[in-house]
């Protein structure tokens, strides 16, 4: 099969975990945790990172293999010798609303230092580097910036994988624009391999399957990376709350359960570790109460990398087949807030049917 030429927008912890992981699995060393070594004829050796964009002065102008370890990134370094087939220089992207004021304060543990450079012509870079798939890893709440890059992908004819909770794939307007231009779109808000959303959905699905009437649920998350620091500005949390809440309530049968989701608990010393507490309360036969409490701890950024690898390969398959618009089956499998919510087992089956060509999107 041909190579998959990928650009990354936002060289943060998720990008670091992804780039390291691709190199690690390309080395041939047996490492557990990758759901599919091959998908649709593409394996990890086909993925090449050929362009990168950021706005932090410590990353712009540096090779991608160096920028993924630059501050304020704090994810673990698990590849000692990071050698990329292509090692692009990180270009200056567009700031727009991607860096809230409190992330620029020197007192913050994960301060962002915006580079004093003019943004590059992103579309020209994509064309020059022959990019096929763009990964959007901007901070939560970067609506204007996300829409800018989505528009650039349309103009350049490049597939977009929207990993953040800004609603592009679940917007009727953007769905129409990508479909009319024949450009593949996967989104919104990546669903980790086994994170808070997957665990919460599994609990909700099991309770619904067994006839439990769920009355209250909460999900409380804490972490120490820049994503959690960013969410201290509660104005940026709206789409994230909707995305995480709908991912869970879509699996329940009873209407209007009281579900509370919080993702704004910043604990600097946790670094890239995420701690999640989930509670579900309801009633079983005869109105007897039932309560479940769960604690999950996981490295936040590595948790989504394998899922994104599947999204990259599916986006390339859509390009191969000339399929534009939202890939609903793939989005349902890899994203929290896809246009069409499915049970996770159904979403996996639908995604695999897309891969084999049984369904178009």
Per-10-residue mean pLDDT of the chain, 361 residues long, equals 93 97 91 90 96 98 98 93 94 95 88 96 98 96 96 98 96 97 97 93 93 94 92 79 83 80 86 96 96 96 95 98 98 96 94 96 91
Whether residue 124 is found in the same domain as residue 255: no
Q: 280 - beta bridge partners?
A: 217, 292
Spatial distance between the Cα atoms of 58 and 70, rounded to a whole number of angstroms: 6
Choose one of 299, 322, 345: the last residue of a domain: 299
- Give the H/E segment covering residue 241: helix 238-249
Spatial distance between the Cα atoms of 294 and 276, rounded to a whole number of angstroms: 8
Choose one of 299, 314, 339: the last residue of a domain: 299
Choose one of 274, 299, 324: the last residue of a domain: 299
Domain count, the chain: 2
DSSP reduced 3-state for 359: coil
Whether residue 241 is found in the same domain as residue 346: no
Whether residue 101 is found in the same domain as residue 40: yes
Nearest C-alpha neighbor of 344 from the set 167, 201, 211, 192: 201
pLDDT at 131: 98
Whether residue 60 is found in the same domain as residue 162: yes
Spatial distance between the Cα atoms of 272 and 300, rounded to a whole number of angstroms: 6
Spatial distance between the Cα atoms of 244 and 254, rounded to a whole number of angstroms: 18
Whether residue 76 is found in the same domain as residue 125: yes
| Residue 239 located in a structural domain | yes
| Residue 111 located in a structural domain | yes
Angle of the 172-181 helix axis to the 143-156 helix axis, nearest 10:
20
pLDDT at 262: 78
Buried residues in 95-107 as b, exposed as e (16+ CB within 10 A): ebbbbbeebeeee
Residues near 185 by Cβ (< 8 Å), separated by ≥ 6? 159, 160, 162, 168, 169, 174, 175, 178, 325, 326, 327
Nearest C-alpha neighbor of 214 from the set 173, 181, 251, 254: 254
If you ran DSSP here, which 8-state letter would residue 62 be given? Answer: S
Whether residue 228 is found in the same domain as residue 160: no
pLDDT at 42: 97
| Residue 341 located in a structural domain | yes
- 8 Å CB contact between 186 and 327: yes
Whether residue 240 is found in the same domain as residue 180: no
pLDDT at 30: 83
Whether residue 17 is found in the same domain as residue 82: yes
Spatial distance between the Cα atoms of 43 and 33, rounded to a whole number of angstroms: 15
DSSP reduced 3-state for 188: coil
Per the structure, the complete domain to which residue 262 belongs is given by 196-299
CATH number, domain of 252, equals 3.30.360.10
Whether residue 345 is found in the same domain as residue 287: no
Whether residue 10 is found in the same domain as residue 155: yes
Whether residue 263 is found in the same domain as residue 306: no
- 8 Å CB contact between 237 and 231: yes
Entry pTM:
0.95
CATH number, domain of 133, equals 3.40.50.720
- 8 Å CB contact between 345 and 338: no
| Residue 361 located in a structural domain | no
Distances 110 to 44, 46, 113, 227, 252 between C-alpha atoms, Å: 31, 34, 10, 9, 37
pLDDT at 263: 66
Spatial distance between the Cα atoms of 115 and 94, rounded to a whole number of angstroms: 11
| Residue 309 located in a structural domain | yes
H helices then E strands: how many in the chain? Answer: 11, 13
pLDDT at 242: 82
| Residue 236 located in a structural domain | yes
Whether residue 128 is found in the same domain as residue 266: no
| Residue 9 located in a structural domain | yes
| Residue 109 located in a structural domain | yes
């Amino acid at each position: 099969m041909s190579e998959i030429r990928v650009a990354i927008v936002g060289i943060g912890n998720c990008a670091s975990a992804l780039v390291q992981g691709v190199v690690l699995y390309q080395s041939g060393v047996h490492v557990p945790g990758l759901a599919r070594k091959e998908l649709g004829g593409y394996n990890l050796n086909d993925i090449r990172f050929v362009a990168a964009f950021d706005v932090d002065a410590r990353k712009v102008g540096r090779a991608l293999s160096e920028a993924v370890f630059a501050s304020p990134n704090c994810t673990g370094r698990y590849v000692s010798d990071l050698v990329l087939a292509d090692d692009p220089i990180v270009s200056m992207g567009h700031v727009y609303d991607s860096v809230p004021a409190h992330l620029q304060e020197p007192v913050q543990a994960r301060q962002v230092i915006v580079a004093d450079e003019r943004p590059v012509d992103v579309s020209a870079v994509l064309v020059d580097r022959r990019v096929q798939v763009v990964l959007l890893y901007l901070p939560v709440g970067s609506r204007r910036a996300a829409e800018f890059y989505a528009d650039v992908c349309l103009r350049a004819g490049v597939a977009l994988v929207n990993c953040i909770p800004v609603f592009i794939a679940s917007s009727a307007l953007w769905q129409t624009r990508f479909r009319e231009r024949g450009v593949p779109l996967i989104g919104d808000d990546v669903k980790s391999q086994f994170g808070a959303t997957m665990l919460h959905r599994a609990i909700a699905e099991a309770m619904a399957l067994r006839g439990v009437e769920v009355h209250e649920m909460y999900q409380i998350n804490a972490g120490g990376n820049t994503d959690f620091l960013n969410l201290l500005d509660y104005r940026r949390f709206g789409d994230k709350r909707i995305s995480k809440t709908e991912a869970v309530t879509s699996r329940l049968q009873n209407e209007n359960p009281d579900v509370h989701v919080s993702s704004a608990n910043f604990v600097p010393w946790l670094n890239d570790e995420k701690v999640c507490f989930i509670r579900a309360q309801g009633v079983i036969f005869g109105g007897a109460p039932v309560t479940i409490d769960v604690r999950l701890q996981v490295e936040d950024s590595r948790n989504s990398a394998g899922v994104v690898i599947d999204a990259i390969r599916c986006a390339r398959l859509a390009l191969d087949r000339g399929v534009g618009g939202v890939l609903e089956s793939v989005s349902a499998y890899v994203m929290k807030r896809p246009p069409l919510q499915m049970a996770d087992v159904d979403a996996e089956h639908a995604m695999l049917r897309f891969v084999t060509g049984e369904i178009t999107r």
